[in-house]
A and B are shown apart, each in its own frame.
Chain A
Amino acid sequence: MSGEEEENAAELKIGDEFLKAKCLMNCEVALILDRKYEQLQQMSNDPMNQVSQVFEKSLQYVKRFSRYKNPDAVRQVREILSRYQLAEFELCVLGNLCPETVEEAIAMVPSIKTKGRAHEDDAIEKMLNDLSLIKKFE
């Protein structure tokens, strides 16, 4: 990573380590944390005592902002988005924010339009359509 100052998610400058790391959408985090919470519940009757405030707040947050609740839908979203040669980070921003128009999508993830990548407006629109279909049939 080339210094903290140059970090800019809009240009996808997030450091090599995070660029390669597995990025999670809010709905995926909700599934993971929920499972961990259940495990803790089995180990003691008072799991709220076991978890940190960070855990608790994160769980509340991801539950509130999950676009997709059911695990199958979550898997489908990732599968569909991964067809479009997006970076992990871009994929998750789109999955989290669910833009409705091409203009919005570009405002939220400016990097999909840069670097001469072959993302035509048509392709972006098709991607957004696919996403809203999952939501509809969830």
Chain B
Amino acid sequence: MFFHIVLERNMQLYPRRFGPNLRDKLVAKLMKDVEATCSGRHGLVVAITGVANIGKGLIRDGTGFVTFPVKYQFVVFRPFKGEILEAVVTMVNKMGFFAEAGPVQIFVSNHLIPDDMEFQSGDIPNYTTSDGSVKIQKESEVRLKIIGTRVDATEIFLDGSLSILGIGPFSKLVTLKRLIPLSCIAS
């Protein structure tokens, strides 16, 4: 899920870079430092949308660096366990499939794909139901439930499951058809 958050951060700037466009310099540095970084707490920073307030600078003893408290708003992508989201399938193999939801990668293991979906190898590997009505292949859009998150310095990896109801593999295909979006369903 995307969130809009306000945070304050202390930015350090060396006096050599001071001048009439100090604010622009600070904002540019902020974008460089913060955008596309990732933390377990806040998730992945997508874009800074505004700088609300830059406080008075404070000279740090001994270094000459000046610290400015900068208050900024940003859009962040923060996935949660148990969340349901839509994703685009990027790769299918017999272990399961990979999908992408915006900036994050999601892996769905074949244990978490409904039992009646079989892996079919070939030119376009895919998972298909026995009656052929639902097919998951590259570029399919799927809905999945996040069951695990792993965060490193620049990326977030998620583990997903197709059993959204949380009661094991789908018992009711009717539900499945609606929960996995229509692009997967063969006409």
A contact residues vs B (CB 8 Å cutoff): 4, 7-11, 13-14, 17-18, 21-26, 28-29, 32-33, 36, 51-55, 57-58, 60-62, 64-65, 89, 92-93, 96-97, 100-101, 103-104, 107-108
Interface residues in B81-123 (C-beta closer than 8 Å to A):
81-86, 88, 100-103
The 26 sampled A-B contact pairs (Cβ below 8 Å) are A7-B82, A9-B146, A10-B82, A14-B80, A18-B3, A22-B3, A24-B4, A25-B2, A32-B4, A32-B75, A52-B35, A54-B35, A55-B46, A58-B77, A61-B101, A61-B103, A64-B88, A64-B141, A65-B141, A92-B1, A93-B84, A100-B178, A101-B178, A104-B179, A107-B165, A108-B164
Given A21-B4, A54-B36, the answer on whether A7 and B81 have CB atoms closer than 8 Å is: yes
User: What distance in Å separates the Cβ of B132 from its nearest Cβ neighbour in chain A?
Assistant: 23
User: Does the CB pair A11–B3 fall under 8 Å?
Assistant: no
Across the interface, do A93 and B1 meet the contact criterion of CB distance under 8 Å? yes
Contacts of A28 in B (CB 8 A): 2
Given contacts A96-B85, A107-B164, contact A21 B49 (CB under 8 A): no
Determine whether B175 belongs to the interface, using a CB cutoff of 8 Å to chain A: yes
Cβ proximity bits B49-73 to A, threshold 8 Å, 1 near / 0 not:
1000000000000000000000000
Chain A residues near B46: list those with CB within 8 A: 29, 33, 54-55, 58
Residues of A near B2 (CB, < 8 A) are 23-26, 28-29, 58, 62, 92
Query: B86–A65 contact, CB under 8 A?
Result: yes
Most A CB contacts (10 A, CB to CB) among B35, B83, B86, B102 go to B102
